[in-house]
Amino acid sequence: MGPPPWAFISRKGLREVALWLLSDRPMNGAELIRAVEEVTWGFWRPSPGSVYPLLRQLEAEGLARRREDGRYELTEAGRRAAKLIPWARGPRLGGPRSVEEVVEELESWALYLADVAATEPERVAPHRERIRKIAEVLQKV
């Protein structure tokens, strides 16, 4: 899942996309520009004149810090801010990278299934036994 097209309409859109991408791994400005271009399939390539002031702003706000290698990484406050981005709560591109991300993704999918079961039970009914077996496996963890 990537940023929705409307995320690019404003400067806030770049901020949200940058927080989302930096929550995956530290990046310098050039890497961030390339990552935005990749996740948008070439639709958007932010300019250095937008990205570098944003990185400095994130640093000034305590959401990111510049490492010795020139890459920016999110602080704990930055990670919390990234988790508040509504469209960034679903599965990530490339799948989860840590146990914490797996648990977050499982929680998201469980909430999704509960919503579908409440509103369209006929869609979930054929899969109830398999869902029950998955729940049993998770109970053993």
Query: Domain total for the chain?
Result: 2
Specify the higher pLDDT residue, 4 or 130.
Answer: 130
Question: Per residue in 18-77, pLDDT tens?
Answer: 999 999 999 999 999 999 998 888 888 899 999 999 999 999 999 999 999 999 999 999
Please report whether residue 94 resides in a domain.
Answer: no
Four-point Cα dihedral 98, 31, 55, 3, nearest 10: -60
Please report whether residue 91 resides in a domain.
Answer: no
Q: At residue 92, does pLDDT exceed 60?
A: no
CATH of the domain at 23: 1.10.10.10
Q: What pTM was computed for the model?
A: 0.58
Q: Give the residues across from 34 on adjacent strands.
A: none
Q: Give me the chain's average pLDDT, please.
A: 85
Instruction: Tell me the HSE value of 70 on the side-chain side, using a 13 A CA sphere.
Output: 6
If asked whether residues 14 and 66 sit together in one domain, one would say yes
Please report whether residue 9 resides in a domain.
Answer: yes
| CA–CA dist 102, 91 (Å, integer) | 9
For residue 126, give its domain range: 99-139
